[in-house]
Structures are given as structure tokens and as C-alpha cells.
Structure 1
Amino acid sequence: MFEPIEALDIYNKNVNILIGSGASADLFPTLGLQIRDAQGNWETIETLSTKYALRPEKNAALFMHYYNTCIHPVQTFTPAAITTPEGLENLQHYEVLLRTLLGFLDRRKDANRKINIFTTNYDGCLAHAADRLLVKGAHEFVVNDGTSGFYKKHLHARNFNTFQCQTGVFERAAYGVPQLNIIHLHGSVYWAKSGDKIEVNYTNDFKKLLTPHVENKISEFSKYLVTKGGVTDEVPLVKLTHNQMEKFWYEYNKLPIVNPTKWKFHETVFEEHYYQMLRLLSYELERPNSILITFGFSFADEHILKLVQRSLSNPKLQTFVCAYSQGGARKMRNEFGAWRNVKVIGPPEGANLNFAHFNKHVLSLSPQTYEPGEAH
């Protein structure tokens, strides 16, 4: 059985959603690799980069692989370009989630009808899903991505405190328009440094950082990382020139995303916004009658883990940590075992808590009972 989160328990509270890379797993690769170390542990971009700290060619090749497989596909993503049934379903799952959240807001009576969606993903899935719902016209709502401006849009933390109200013809009543705040904690491919500001542009006119010649040089290395059965000690060598590595790092460090090995931005303007968003998350979790629901998120970012754990001293905060596997659920119970206001929700025997099950059995206006052997 999947444990549902009761709608009556959360719809009139300060709801915060925290989404990680697991939510986009059928559209974009995660940081996990298919090779193991000598002890049999799975390698990730983070673990390999630590081992390659004193091996500049392999470390550069590793991040070239990361850019090629994880970042560039996100930069060039559009819903029209999805070619797999799994990818189409993945984007539909985002739409279902947003419809559920809007259903909660429809039940809320106060003027401040908003839900915060924090995400460590730098893809545009939430924005695309929200846009598709707006085009369909079935829901009236506002998407607030923290930007202001007209021709050029700039990001600022204070904009998340902006709300829209509608009034009648004679202005005798005000109606708070349902609002979804989309807050990118780890950056977004749609951000760019503009002086001391962050400019947001949802066009995907991106120049690829790697030349075909360099891609060919790392092809064997890259293929080995994602081939099952590989071991760390047998990862192929890569021959890159100093100029090739220097040119790559110069462009890579300008990307508006958190470095997955240090959970830090290279550019100061992005780093400052990161900490402003962490403060916003902390503030929202410290408010009375707050709810935090996490999905697809492993708490690998120590800043976010410690922040959430500190916030749990708020007895009015209820947290639901949704884990993909039973092993992941055990790990989360160990991490949060000291707090009574945390409920870890994992899958039943023989199942995984994927996006479909999350939407159908866990977070829904009318959760359905799980039947063992379901297709998803």
C-alpha cells in the first residue's frame, strides 16, 4: 500500500513542494552512472569528480560527459521534441501534479492562495507543464517565476511576495488568483548573468560548448560510464590538450547551475540568489501550519538537508518525504528519525514510488488504492 497524503490535512495550509531530479528521470539523465567502485558502490558524477581531483584530463572529460548528457539536452528541450512514450508521460505527470495543486488552491478561502514549488532541477518541465495548462484554459491561475520586467525579465527574491487580485466591475470584492511560485534552487538553463542581475529568457538559443573533435575524444570514456558492468579502475584514459580543457572550463563555469560536486555556483550573482532562495525556503517552513512534501529528491545537497532539519523544530511544520524505493525510504528514516513531524512515504514490496504512483496514490484530490502488479 502507498500511504496517501490526505487533502483535508493540507489544502488550507502553507503548502511547499520540493522536487528533485527523480521527477524528470524519464526525460533527462540523473547524476548516477552505471559503474561501481572496488567495494561495489555505485559511482556518481560527485564521487568520480572527487577521485579525479588530481587528474585534470579525466576530471574535464567527466564534466564534458555531464554537460553532453545532462545539461545540453535540458538546454535544447521543448515538449515538441520529445520522442519517447516515457518522456511524453513524464511531462504529463508534471501537468497532473500542477492540476492537483490547483485543486487544493480552489478549495482555499483566503485571498493569499499560493503554493511554493521549490526545485533543484534546472530544466523547464514545470514552466512547460504550467504553460500547457494555461493554453488549455481549464484553470485560471498565475505562474510566478520571480521575474519582473517587460521586454527583459530579471529575477529577484522579493518578486515571490507578489500576488494578483481580481475585482468586480464596481470593486466591491477582491478575489485572489491562484498562484504557483516556481523557485529554482540550483539554477536554471534559462538564466543568464546580466551585470549584477539575473536575466531570464525562455528561448533555447544555446551554443554547444563542445566541438565534434572534442566529443569524439571523450566518446569512449563517456560510453564506458553508462555501460553496465564497468568498474572505476578501468575507466578509459582521455587525451585532452590544455587549451581544450581551459576553453571548456571557461564556458562551463558561466553556466547558471549549481556545480554538483560542491553544491555551489561559480558566478557570485547566482550564488547570492541561491542563498536568498534558501532563506525563502527556511522562512516558509518556519511559518505556522506549514507543509513540506518532497518528491524525487535525495537530499544530497547538504545545505538543503540541514535547513530542513533545522526547520523541523517548528512543531507546526508537517513534512512528507517521498522515497522512490524501499532502500531510499530506510535511508530517509535514518536521516529524519529524530523528528516526530516527519513522515517518510515509501513504496510497497515489489513497487517503486515513481511519478505516476505519486500522482495517483500519494498526492491526489482523491487517492486511488494501489493494486499490486499495476503497469506503473
Structure 2
Amino acid sequence: MIEKLYGKNINFLIGSGASFGMIPTLSSNYVDLIYGDLTIEEVLEKNKTDEDLQNIVYLYYYHEILKKGYLEISEESTELKEKYEEVFKNYQKLLENLINLLQRESYQKEKRINIFTTNYDLFFEKVADSLVGKYEFYFNDGSSGNITKKLSMKNYHKKIYHTGIFDNFDREIPIINLFKLHGSVSWKYVNDKNNKPHEIKVEYFETEGNYPKNLIKEVSNEEIENAKETIKNNEDLKNKIKEVKNELFEKFALIFPEKNKFENTLYQEFYYQNLRQLSYELEKQNSILIVFGFSFADEHIAEIVKRACNNPTLNIYIFCYSLDTKNEILNNLKLEEFPNNIKTILPEDNENIDFKIFLKKLFEVNSKIESDNNE
């Protein structure tokens, strides 16, 4: 399908499914007789008044999602290291193919691709670093500065050129813009009173020694009830777990999985700017949005994409992990059927579309695209 991308304004929307294998997705195994299967976001929403449950889930969230997002793998963790290397190679192939695509673009087309992701982890950043020196490209995460980096939306609006020694030619350098819609484990808030309230530093958030051991392996009724029993008569442990939630909100520059996620942060302006940028890109002429590992459970993003479908020159390609995923996405988008400019790419031969198959379908010339509403 790569032939469909040339000459277009190319955008990607990458969700937690891309890092699956290393980082769990935000859906959970929580089952409730009243509410049915719930995501972590829904668990927190349905149990607002249960403080112990809330704090236990946030402890789980730190250990199983955020901490793993640093991608710091010890040499002793052989199995984890193998999973990391597999996911890393998939991200690496994605960026390499995108750089090659941009290098082959005509001089009339801006050599820029936008990647929007809801993932907190550092796969894109680490992969981009691994490609420095191998390819001539600029990876733009929206930051400026050298020792202390600060994020600003204005940093995305750049063009970079390579000139000859005698300045006798200009050649545009491929740029890959990374927009982290929900923040990053490498971001922390700037508390300097002289800074604007939404400024964020790109810097590792130190967490050593501050957090108790995780009490649950999955967000389920049984696991949570057992954890509650463990902390029932242990006030010291209960208070430490409570501190996890407070510290996460205070220091991590993240949008957390809550229904009122944007109301709970004083720094919502920066995130709304990111969402507006996604909207602007999809409203441009001859735009393409490629969706992978994302189910549109985020209502804000779902609404932006639905509204963008009014752009007659926009084409959206959604790669569905399984046959059931298509119906899940329809439901999350609150649609009875997809509009003509949304194409769903479905699995073949009872297989799932994992990262490797996604790359194959995307970058092979004239690759077969199975879709009920294909063009």
C-alpha cells in the first residue's frame, strides 16, 4: 500500500497495541457482574468513592505501565530482553521505512511525517537514537535546548536543509515529528515560577525508593480484594500506596486514564495544543491517517477523527488487530458504519494484524488490502 502514500500529508496514530509484548495495553481483565468487562479508565470511574481501590490501581499502573516505559532492561532478564528486542526492531523498521519514503519524495512535497501516539514509553525516542548516523533525518519530539530540554508546540513548525560547502544547493532533510498526546515517562513538570504553567521538561523522572512493591498482577476483582486485605491493618503500607497516586499527579507530566482526564491537570493547555495539531493535520488537503494499535477508546481523539471525515480529500486506514476489533472501533467511534474515507484493513486467514504484519501490509508495493469498505 506504500504507493498510496507518496505526495500526501502523512500522519500516523499509534496506540498501545504497538508496544504490546513489552508494555501492557490499558484494557484490563477486570470483570464485574454488574458492569461487565471494563478498562482501567472505567474501573476508576465506576469506583470513584473506593479510595483503597483507586490507590491500588494507580500502584499497579505505575509498576506495570509507567515503570516499564523507561525500557531499562537488565541483562539477567533474558525473556524480557527478547521481548524488548522484538518490539524495538518493529519500531526500528517503521522509522527506517518512513525515512526512506521521505527521501524518495519529490522536491515539491514537504519531507515531513507526523506520528501521534498515546503511548508513554520511549520506544520511538530510543529507536530514533539508534538510527543517528545511519540515516540523514531529523527526529523532532517538540523540544528545544541541550542539557535541559523544554517542550513547545512551536518547535514542530520547522524545515531543515542541508547545504553544500559553498552554499550552492539546498536539500531538505526528512523530518519525523513525534506528538505524545498523553505525555511521556521522560517528561516532568517545570515548577519554576518564571515559567509558563504548561511548560514541561524532557527529563527522566526519578522514582527510586519511593514506591512499595506492586500488590496485583492484573486489575481484577479477586486481585484487588486480596490487595485490600493485605493493607487492611497496615496503615504504613496503606499510606505509602496513597502517596503513589499523589506523587504521580504531582510530578509525572502525563494524562492519566480517567474519564475526566483533562479536568484533572493544570497543564491541559499543552495537551489540547497537541490534539488541535492532530485536527489541523487531518483538515489539510490530501491527508492520510494510518491507525495501528489504537481502538479509539479515547473520546477526545475519536471525536477529532470523526469530525475530520468531513474533509473529502482525507483517507484513513485503520489496521484492525482482529476481526472483532472492527466492531469495537465502530462502537468507540459511535458509528453504525464507516464513512467512505475510512478503510479498515482486516486480518487474513484467521491471523491477527500484529506489528510485523502491519509493516508488511503498509510497505509492500501493491500489498493485498482486505477491507469490507475498501476503495
CA contact (8 A) 2:118 2:181 kept: yes
Contact 2:56 2:227 in 1 (8 A): no
CA distance in 2, matches of 1:82, 1:106: 38
Equivalent pair of 1:28/1:73 in contact (CA under 8 Å): yes
Task: String of CA shifts for 1:79-135, please: whole Å, max 9, x gaps.
Answer: 97874323211110000111111121012113620100111001100011111122x
8 Å CA contact 1:210–1:248 kept in 2: the answer is yes
1:160 alignment partner in structure 2: 156
Relative to 1, partners in 2 of residues 1:175 and 1:363: Cα closer, same or farther, differing over 3 Å? Answer: same
Deviations 1:275-330 (A, max 9, x none): 00011111111110100001001111100000111111111111011111100023
Q: Read off the aligned partner of 1:284 and give its amino acid letter.
A: E
**Separation in structure 2 between the aligned mates of residue 75 and residue 266 of structure 1, nearest angstrom:** 24
Deviation at 1:338, TM superposition (A): 4.6
Which residue of 2 is the match for residue 107 of structure 1? 104
Give 1:250's match in structure 2, choosing from 218, 241, 246.
246
Amino acid at match of 2:351: A
The alignment of Structure 1 onto Structure 2 pairs a total of residues equal to: 350
Cα distance in 2 between the residues matched to 1:75 and 1:209: 16
Alpha-carbon displacement from aligned partner over 1:147-201 (angstroms, at most 9, x marks no partner): 1112221100010001210112332321100111111000011111113321112
Q: Which moved more, 1:71-80 or 1:41-50?
A: 71-80
**Partner of residue 19 from structure 2, selected from 11, 18, 24:** 24
Match status 1:225 vs 2:227: no
Matched, 1:210 2:219: no
In the alignment, which of 9, 14, 18 is matched to residue 14 of structure 1? 9
Give yes or no for contact 1:75–1:206 (8 Å, CA) kept in 2: no
Q: Hey, what's the Cα distance between the residues in 2 that align with 1:179 and 1:267?
A: 30
Is this contact kept in 2: 1:104–1:365, CA < 8 A? no
The equivalent position to 2:38 in structure 1, one of 31, 37, 43, is 43
TM (norm. structure 1) is: 0.85
2:200 equivalent in structure 1 = 198
For residue 126 of structure 1, the aligned residue among 124, 127, 149 is 124
Shift of 1:363: 1.1
Q: Aligned partner of 2:130: which letter?
A: R
Instruction: Give secondary structure in 1 for the equivalent of 2:277.
Output: helix
Verify: 1:332 aligned to 2:329, yes or no. yes
1:92 aligns with 2:86: no
Larger deviation: 288-297 or 346-355?
346-355
2:178 partner letter: I
Change (3 A) 1:233 1:20: closer
Partner of 1:355: 355
Q: Residues of 2 paired with 1:180 and 1:62: CA distance?
A: 35
* TM-score between both structures, scaled by the size of structure 2: 0.85
Structure 2 equivalent of residue 170 of structure 1 = 166
Q: Which amino acid aligns with 1:124?
A: L
**Alignment-derived partner of residue 58 in structure 2:** 63
Question: Match of 1:374?
Answer: none
Q: CA offset at residue 231 of structure 1?
A: 6.1
Equivalent residues of 1:19, 1:295 under 8 A apart? yes
> Are the aligned partners of 1:18 and 1:295 in contact in 2 as well (CA < 8 Å)?
yes
**3-state SS, counterpart of residue 132 of structure 1:** helix
Return closer, same or farther for 1:70/1:367 CA change in 2, 3 Å cut-off: farther
In structure 2, C-alpha distance between the alignment counterparts of 1:233 and 1:210, rounded to whole Å: 18
Distance 2:4 2:95 in 1: 18
Displacement of 1:265? 7.1
Q: Distance in 2 between matches of 1:305 and 1:259?
A: 17
Larger displacement relative to structure 2 (240-249 or 284-293): 240-249
- Quote the offset at 1:69 in angstroms: 1.2
Q: Is the 8 A contact 1:79 1:128 kept in 2?
A: no
Aligned-residue CA RMSD in angstroms? 2.6
Q: Distance in 1 between matches of 2:65 and 2:285?
A: 38
Unaligned runs of 5+ in 1: 1-5, 371-376
Alignment check: 8 A CA contact 1:52 1:59 kept: yes
What is the distance in 2 between the residues matched to 1:91 and 1:288?
A: 33
Matched, 1:237 2:232: no
Map of 1:291-302 to 2, 5 A cutoff? 291-302=288-299
Post-superposition offset of 1:78: 5.6
* Distance change >3 Å, CA 9–CA 80, structure 1 → 2: farther
Q: Which moved more, 1:109-118 or 1:293-302?
A: 109-118
8 Å CA contact retained: 2:57, 2:219:
no
- Determine whether 1:310 maps to 2:307: yes
Q: Could you say which residue in structure 2 is the equivalent of 1:3?
A: none
Tell me the distance in 2 between the aligned counterparts of 1:294 and 1:204.
29
**Amino acid across the alignment from 2:29:** Q
- How far, CA to CA, are the matches of 1:209 and 1:35 in structure 2? 27
Instruction: List alignment gaps of at least 5 residues for structure 2.
Output: 370-375
In structure 2, distance between residues paired with 1:68 and 1:183: 24
- Residue 244 (structure 1) shift: 3.4
In structure 1, how many angstroms separate the alpha carbons of the residues matched to 2:367 and 2:78? 30
Could you tell me the percent identity over the aligned residues?
Answer: 33
Q: Which residue of 1 aligns with 2:343?
A: 343
AA of the residue aligned to 1:309: K
